[in-house]
Every structure is written in structure tokens, then in C-alpha cells.
A = this chain, B = another copy of it.
Amino acid sequence: MQSISVSDIIVKKAAESRIDQVDFDKLVFGTVFTDHMFECDYINGHWQQPTIRPYGPLTISPAAKVFHYGQAVFEGMKAYKDDQGKVFLFRPDENFNRINKSSERLAIPEFPREYFFGALEELLRMDNDWIKPGLGNSLYIRPFVIASEIGVSASAANQYKFMIILSPAQAYYSGDVSVVIAEKYSRAADGGVGYAKAAGNYGAQFYPTRLAQEQGFQQVIWTDANSHQFLEEAGTMNVFFRVGDKLLTAPTNDRILDGVTRKSLITLAKDAGIDVEVRRVEVSEIVEAAQQGTLKEIFGAGTAAVVSPVKAFSYRGTKYDLPAQESSYAIRFKKALNDIQYNCAPDPYNWRYPIN
């Protein structure tokens, strides 16, 4: 058994910070990266010496399996800074467990807990200045694993690269989104990889999403591939429906991502005394509720977008507008979550993870 310790991380500091070149008021999500990144290779059956080094390009063979077979998984997390300059992660254990669950499904070796947390803590200390305080500001954290073995034969790799890159972020979406409910295309199969944050799950959605965008919508809400009768998730977000004062969302299964924001919202809603039904949600009941005026809200929940209100949805060519809500669940939960994330409220669930 390999002995692993955080102190094994080799740190190579950037000669000079690039932070002065960045306009933090005009960030495009996911396009600007901090001074450092984490890298750890899996070779000969072991994770090798982990390294933090200046952010920069990889030198990688065009025959690396990731390019050909999509053997790759990732996570999305955020670090938040409070007004005193303290930095927090939000439920990072969930992301750690999930990347290894994703990896298992993609036949990628498990990554050690000590390296994951050691890397995050060291990176966030080194690139602390890139985390700006203030509501909506955060540092988006992207851990990912790619198959780096050279070989154009379709089998699991025996070499991998685990990386973490960091990107300062403002809010992900500007304004409410309109969505299309999928009738033809699908995101995931029973027995497939839909529950994993597998790279290929995302690329597969771009074309149907583009078709939706050409009709004036921003996102697709996916339905089950068998019947298209049940609402699943939005691809980068889980989805909640408020009918009357009741909150509905699909249960997780092998097609639906077990979202950290989703499960946090369920906890917050239940503890606020809201009736939450985690069950299969039929498209027809949502359409009926919209027609009868009992559908009060739809919103997405995900790390990047936090809570993303939906202003309209389209189904079978008909567009249904959602009414403006004076006491919106979406806004209420976003505030409650943000208050915990930014250390503005007590944390009864121990969701905050301080970086010292």
C-alpha cells in the first residue's frame, strides 16, 4: 500500500502573478485562470508525486486516450471569501466522493482524499488574492481527471492525470432562463453514465441545446429517454418545480446527477417547513399546473449557477410563461445558501469548510 501525505506535494511558485491583468468586474465564466494549478499523474498502478506549478499548457500526445475515448471526469466547486478575508469551501466532501464515484464508472482509479484536500488547501492559500469577497464573487474550482495513456485502442487507460485549475467567477447566468422540455433528444440511458460527471455527458448535449437556442431558449430540461414523460435534469443543473407551495424534484438514479446544490436545497426547504416531494415528475402534471396557474416556479440548482430561475418553458411547440413571484423560493433559497457560503449566517449543517 502506497503511503500518501500532503507534505509530498511539490510546489513550484509562479515567478510573477498575472492577477493585475485581470478585470474582476468583467469576468467571462470559466475563461480566466489563477497563477497555479495542481497536477498528479497515475503511472504503474500508483498516483505519483503531486505537484502545484504555474498555470500553463500541457504537453500531451495526440494519441492520449482522453482525446479519442472521452475517458474523463470532473467536478465543479467554489471557494467563497467573507468580509474578514476568511475563505470557505462548501461541502467539499460531496465533490470528493462524487469524483471518485464518477471515476469508478469510467474505470478511472480512485484519487486519495489526502491529495485532494491537500491540493485544494494549498492552492487556495497560494492563490488567495484571486478570491474576491462580496456576494456573487467566488473562485470556481475545477478538479478533473483525464486518461493520458498513449493508445488508439478502445480500452481503459493505465495512465491518468488528475488536475485542479481555478477560475475567478462572478454570477454564472445573467438573468432568468427560458428552457425547452426535451421530446426527441436524450441525455442519459438507464445503465449508462448519466449520474457521473463524465466529460461525454456534456458534449452530447451541445447540439440539442443549440437547437433550443435557435428557437430563443437557453437550456434544455431533459426527460427520460424511454418515454420522454418524466422530467430529469437540465444538464448542468438539477431542476425543481414549485406547484402551489409544494416543491417537486426528480429522485437521483443512474441517469441523474446527485447535485450538491440540489441536496442542500432539499434540506433547506424541508427545514423551512416546505413540503418537498422527491419523486418522478411528469411533464403532463407540470403542463397542467402551468395551464391552471398553480405552477409558481421552476428553477435550476447547480454549483456554477447556484439557483437559476426559469421564466418560461416550451413543450410541444407551446410556450408557457411563469408568473413573477413576490416570495420566490428560488430567491429565498439562493439567499439562504449564499448566507451560509459567504459566512453571513450560522451553519447548522456544518457545510462550510474553512481554509486556514
Binding site for B on A (CB under 8 A): 29-31, 33, 37, 55, 57-63, 65-72, 74, 104-107, 140, 142, 144, 146-147, 150-156, 163, 165, 167, 172, 182, 184-193, 198-207, 209-210, 225-226, 228, 235-236, 304
Contact = CB atoms under 8 A, between A and B. Distances in A.
Chain A, interface SS category: loop
A342 B72 CA distance: 37
A216 to B, nearest CB: 16
Nearest to A76: B152
Given A62-B165, A191-B185, A192-B187, A69 B203 contact: yes
Nearest to A106: B203
A188 B191 contact: no
**Copies per complex of this chain:** 2
A210 B191 CA distance: 15
A70 B198 CA distance: 8
Nearest to A182: B191
A278 to B, nearest CB: 23
B203 A198 contact: yes
Nearest to A172: B153
Contacts of A151: 30-31
A205 to B, nearest CB: 8
A62 B34 CA distance: 12
Contact of A60 (B58, B155, B163, B199): B58
Contact of A201 (B55, B61, B153, B200): B200
A204 B204 CA distance: 13
Contact of A58 (B55, B59, B199, B225): B59
A56 B184 CA distance: 42
Nearest to A31: B151
Given A68-B72, A74-B68, A154-B236, A63 B186 contact: no
Contact of A210 (B57, B58, B156, B167): B156
Enumerate the 10 nearest inter-chain pairs by beta-carbon distance, A residue then B residue, closest first: A200-B200, A70-B199, A189-B189, A186-B191, A70-B200, A189-B225, A71-B203, A107-B206, A30-B152, A69-B202
Contact of A165 (B63, B69, B190): B63
A29 B202 contact: no
A156 to B, nearest CB: 4
A239 B351 CA distance: 50
A107 B104 CA distance: 28
A261 B152 CA distance: 19
A152 B156 contact: no
A215 to B, nearest CB: 15
A221 to B, nearest CB: 14
Given A70-B72, A207-B104, A226-B226, A153 B30 contact: yes
